[in-house]
Amino acid sequence: MKTETRDHILSCGSKIIHLKGYAATGIKEILDAAKVPKGSFYFYFKSKEDFCVALVEHHRKNILHGMDLALENRDLPPLQRLQDFFAEVHKLHAVMGYKKGCPVGNLAQELGATNPLVGKQLQNVLDAMTLRITAVLEEARERGELPIRLKPDETAAFIISAWQGAFVQMKAVSGPAPLDNFMAMVFDVLLV
């Protein structure tokens, strides 16, 4: 029961912060959305920052679990799995009206440089995402399916950058064009 309430508060707060950002979201707004009293919030989280730390951990689990599910299916060729993964995430953002971006990238942009604790946590998530893509590119290289000019680790970090930046541009246009261009440039140009 305790874990359920904590998860419920996290889930409600997550949705608001995902759209509006951390500084623009007040604890009261999270309480109202979760329909819990203030004391309940402070029973589970010492402070708003403590809530943010829990939120990043919540996103870390979800994102890496989703990546593992999509990227570890060895029935498909590695680059196909990578493309399918990004295409699935693209669809999720269509459902959200292209307004929310990556919850980890948003927080990295907002807090990465000013909050060392959360910044380090976000760096770890971005590194873990990059490692998963590196592994897929290494598998492609072993199968002779990666252009020789590409180093798996540098290419993976570049793909993560381009993806995060596509979200920045997506928010300004509130439309799919930057994600579409990412897909075309990565899968029809860079990895070919």
Q: Which residues bind its own copies (CB under 8 A)?
A: 19-21, 23-24, 98-101, 105-106, 108-110, 112-114, 119, 122-123, 126, 149-150, 154-155, 157-158, 160-169, 171-174, 178, 181-182, 184-185, 189-190, 192
Output 43 or 176, the one with its CB closest to its own copies.
176
Q: Least separation, in Å, of the C-beta of 99 and its own copies?
A: 4
CA distance 192 to 189: 5
Q: Least separation, in Å, of the C-beta of 28 and its own copies?
A: 15
Output 81 or 100, the one with its CB closest to its own copies.
100
Q: Least separation, in Å, of the C-beta of 101 and its own copies?
A: 7
Query: Are 82 and 141 spatial neighbours (Cβ–Cβ below 8 Å)?
Result: no
Q: Least separation, in Å, of the C-beta of 123 and its own copies?
A: 4
Output 8 or 171, the one with its CB closest to its own copies.
171
Who contacts 69 (Cβ-Cβ below 8 Å, separation ≥6)? none
Output 8 or 20, the one with its CB closest to its own copies.
20
Q: Least separation, in Å, of the C-beta of 167 and its own copies?
A: 8
Who contacts 149 (Cβ-Cβ below 8 Å, separation ≥6)? none
Output 69 or 173, the one with its CB closest to its own copies.
173
Location of structure tokens 């075309």 = 184
Query: How many other CB atoms are found less than 10 A from the CB of residue 17?
Result: 23
Q: Which long-range contacts (CB under 8 A, 24 or more apart) does 161-169 make?
A: 162/186, 163/86, 163/102, 164/102, 164/105, 164/108, 167/93, 167/101, 167/102, 167/105, 167/106, 168/101, 168/105, 168/109
